[in-house]
Amino acid sequence: MKRRVTFVVEDPRIKRTTKLGDAVQITGRMPLLDFLRILGTSDLYIETSIDEELRLTALDAMLLRVLVAKILHPRFYGRHDYTEDEILIGTSVDKLVGLIAEYINNFDHYNEHFSQAVYEFVKRKRLWDVVKVDFVQTLDEMMF
């Protein structure tokens, strides 16, 4: 890839942060405020589920205008309500890695489109009243 990339991996099973070279940092469960701070400065969020659903953390990323990348098991492909114009969708690891590399290598070209697309998707197609209050309170804490 043309750009330097750092992956932050949250693994609730570990207790302290481990670095694997310059590119990978593995950390334990983060408090929500820390997670949102890292997410808010990220260029990409990789969804961990392989079904058609988007987890709440992916929706948080989308509200912060961070592109979401997701592996979608072929069995669930026809059941999702998002498109390749809104998030990066791969039906295999190889395909998703290729899409992520393309996005990173051409970040300036893709970023504006995808940051707007993910934000509009979550505003239009997801009800987030259940999490809105906690999310907005946490964002307010980060700002002040």
pLDDT of 1: 64
- β-pair partners for 9: 26
Q: What is the pTM of this model?
A: 0.80
Helix (H, G, I), strand (E, B) or coil at 27: strand
pLDDT tens for each residue of the chain, 144 residues long = 677 888 999 988 998 899 998 899 999 999 999 999 999 999 999 998 898 889 889 999 999 999 999 999 888 888 888 889 999 999 999 999 999 999 999 999 999 999 999 998 988 877 666 666 777 777 778 776
Helix (H, G, I), strand (E, B) or coil at 7: strand
CA 80 – CA 49 distance, rounded (Å) = 13
- β-pair partners for 69: 46, 88
Q: Strands of 67-71's sheet, edge to edge?
A: 44-46, 67-71, 88-90
What is the amino acid identity at position 142?
M
| DSSP type of residue 41 | T
pLDDT of 37: 92
Domains and CATH numbers, the chain: 7-128 (3.40.50.2000)
pLDDT of 107: 93
CA 41 – CA 126 distance, rounded (Å) = 23
Rounded to a whole number of angstroms, the distance between the first and last alpha carbons of the chain is 37
